[in-house]
């Protein structure tokens, strides 16, 4: 495979390894023009490529960060990842990506492996279940940033959506449009899944605040594959709410599946608003009103914090990034025809 080492270059250029190393690290200060040229020539001639692993060993830095996500297939994840990669590219850093499928065992294994691999930092969408491990990372002063979720009792940088605000934005809009009977669809409640918990709580709060009824049968927190069935049941009993708030793209898809199967009309039969600005929102009929997560900014913020941590001790902070309501036609006022 690769055989040319610094020693070979040194020999050919008739200098010591040290000098070659100085050259590579651009410490030209006390180096003659002549020597510099000879080394450059030797490198060119031998097609020498420094072995970064060897350097890493000595310098204790790998210019690599580990990013641990649930599932790269989720749009939010992909976008955050893209932002991270862009920023790393500017710093000549590399990104190792790991999928946990929200499985704490896999998460643990990945953290251990990346740690052993001496990555310079971690950006993690945490499962939330490896509390001891997270603590050990912090104690070891590893640079760590959490994204999307935080974990109670872990003092670490975290970049999250302002979920309360997101729900508020959507609910205020729906209420403003005149909807009073509003339901929610979400995956099953799980206390450690922060965004879910916060969104569901904020939903209840918004209804209470507006003095609207909280009907438990309209709060569907169910495995995604069962959601459209639950909606079917409501429809059969003629008990559909006027509007539905879908807390993410997956649940939105289920609602749309239901709507299509039952040949309902949005927003006439049922109005719809959701968190996550799906790529087809504007070409769907009717176009979908959504609450967009600032995915790129989340990635940028997380990376920025990580680099700050790598640059020196800073005290952990939690960042709540602002969602944005994108008004389209799926939740226009009752009686309106839409655009």
Secondary structure of the chain as H, E, C letters: CCCCCHHHHHHHHCCCHHHHHHHHCCCCCCCCHHHHHHHHHHHHHHCCCCCHHHHHHHHCCCCEEEEEECCCCCHHHHHHHHHHHHHHHHCCCEEEEEECCCCHHHHHHHHHHHHHCCCCEEEECCCCCCHHHHHHHHHCCCCEEEECCCCCCCCCEEEEECHHHHHHHHHHHHHHCCCCCEEEEECCCCCCCHHHHHHHHHHHHHHHHCCCCCCHHHEEECCHHHHHHHHHHHHHCCCCCCEEEECCHHHHHHHHHHHHHCCCCCCCCCEEEEECCCCCCCCCCCCCEEEECCHHHHHHHHHHHHHHHHHCCCCCCEEEECCEEECCCCCCCCCCCCC
With CB under 7 A as the contact rule, the residue among 26, 34, 216, 279 that binds DNA is 34
**Residue 79 binds a second copy, judged by CB under 8 A:** yes
Tell me which stretch binds DNA (CB under 7 A): 7-15, 126-134, 146-154, 198-206. 7-15
Least distance in Å: CB of 310 to DNA? 16
**Residue 81 binds a second copy, judged by CB under 8 A:** yes
Between residues 135 and 192, which has the closer beta carbon with respect to a second copy? 135
With CB under 8 A as the contact rule, the residue among 5, 21, 78, 197 that binds a second copy is 78
With CB under 8 A as the contact rule, the residue among 40, 257, 318, 322 that binds a second copy is 257
**Residue 253 binds a second copy, judged by CB under 8 A:** yes
Nearest to 242 by CA among 333, 179, 173, 329: 179
**Residue 26 binds a second copy, judged by CB under 8 A:** no
Cross-strand partners of 326:
290
**Residue 327 binds a second copy, judged by CB under 8 A:** no
**Residue 6 binds a second copy, judged by CB under 8 A:** no
**Residue 7 binds DNA, judged by CB under 7 A:** yes
**Residue 17 binds DNA, judged by CB under 7 A:** yes
**Residue 98 binds a second copy, judged by CB under 8 A:** yes
**Residue 25 binds DNA, judged by CB under 7 A:** yes
**Residue 240 binds a second copy, judged by CB under 8 A:** no
**Residue 71 binds DNA, judged by CB under 7 A:** no
**Residue 30 binds DNA, judged by CB under 7 A:** yes
Least distance in Å: CB of 72 to a second copy? 5
Residue 41 CA: distances (Å) to CA of 29, 35, 36, 37 = 19, 10, 9, 6
- The interface with a second copy within residues 124-163 (CB under 8 A) comprises 136, 140-142
**Residue 71 binds a second copy, judged by CB under 8 A:** yes
Least distance in Å: CB of 41 to DNA? 14
- Binding residues vs a second copy (CB under 8 A): 1-2, 47, 49-54, 56-57, 60, 62, 64, 71-73, 78-79, 81-82, 85-86, 89, 92, 94-99, 106, 112-118, 136, 140-142, 253, 256-257, 260, 278-280, 282-285, 287
Q: Which residues bind DNA (CB under 7 A)?
A: 2-3, 5-7, 14-19, 21-22, 24-25, 30-32, 34-35, 49-51, 54-55, 57-60
């Amino acid at each position: 495979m690769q055989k040319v080492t610094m020693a070979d270059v040194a020999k050919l250029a008739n200098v010591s390894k040290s000098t070659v190393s100085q050259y590579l690290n651009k410490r030209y200060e006390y180096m003659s023009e002549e020597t510099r040229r000879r080394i450059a020539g030797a490198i060119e001639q031998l097609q020498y490529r420094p072995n970064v692993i060897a350097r890493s060993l000595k310098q204790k830095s790998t210019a690599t960060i580990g990013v641990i996500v649930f599932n790269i297939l989720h749009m939010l994840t992909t976008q955050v990842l893209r932002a991270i990669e862009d920023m790393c590219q500017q710093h000549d850093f590399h990104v190792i990506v790991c999928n946990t499928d929200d499985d704490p065992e896999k998460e643990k294994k990945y953290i251990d492996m990346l740690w052993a691999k001496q990555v310079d930092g971690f950006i993690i969408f945490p499962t939330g279940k490896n509390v001891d491990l997270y603590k050990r990372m912090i104690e070891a002063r590893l640079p760590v940033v959490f994204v999307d979720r935080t974990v109670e009792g872990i003092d670490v940088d975290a970049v999250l959506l302002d979920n309360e605000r997101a729900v508020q934005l959507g609910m205020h809009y729906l209420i403003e449009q005149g909807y009073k009977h509003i339901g929610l669809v979400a995956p099953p409640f799980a206390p450690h899944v922060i965004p879910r918990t916060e969104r569901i709580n904020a939903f209840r709060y918004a209804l209470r605040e507006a003095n609207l009824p909280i009907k438990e049968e309209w709060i569907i927190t169910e495995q995604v594959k069962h959601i459209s069935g639950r909606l079917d049941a409501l429809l059969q009993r003629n008990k559909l709410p006027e509007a539905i708030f879908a807390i993410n793209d997956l649940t939105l898809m289920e609602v749309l599946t239901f709507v299509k199967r039952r040949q309902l009309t949005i927003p006439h039969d049922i109005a719809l608003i959701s968190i996550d600005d799906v790529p087809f929102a504007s070409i769907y009929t009717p176009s979908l009103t959504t609450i967009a997560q600032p995915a790129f900014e989340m990635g940028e913020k997380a990376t920025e914090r990580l680099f700050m941590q790598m640059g020196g001790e800073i005290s952990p902070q939690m960042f709540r990034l602002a969602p944005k309501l994108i008004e389209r036609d799926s939740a226009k006022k009752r009686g309106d025809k839409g655009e």
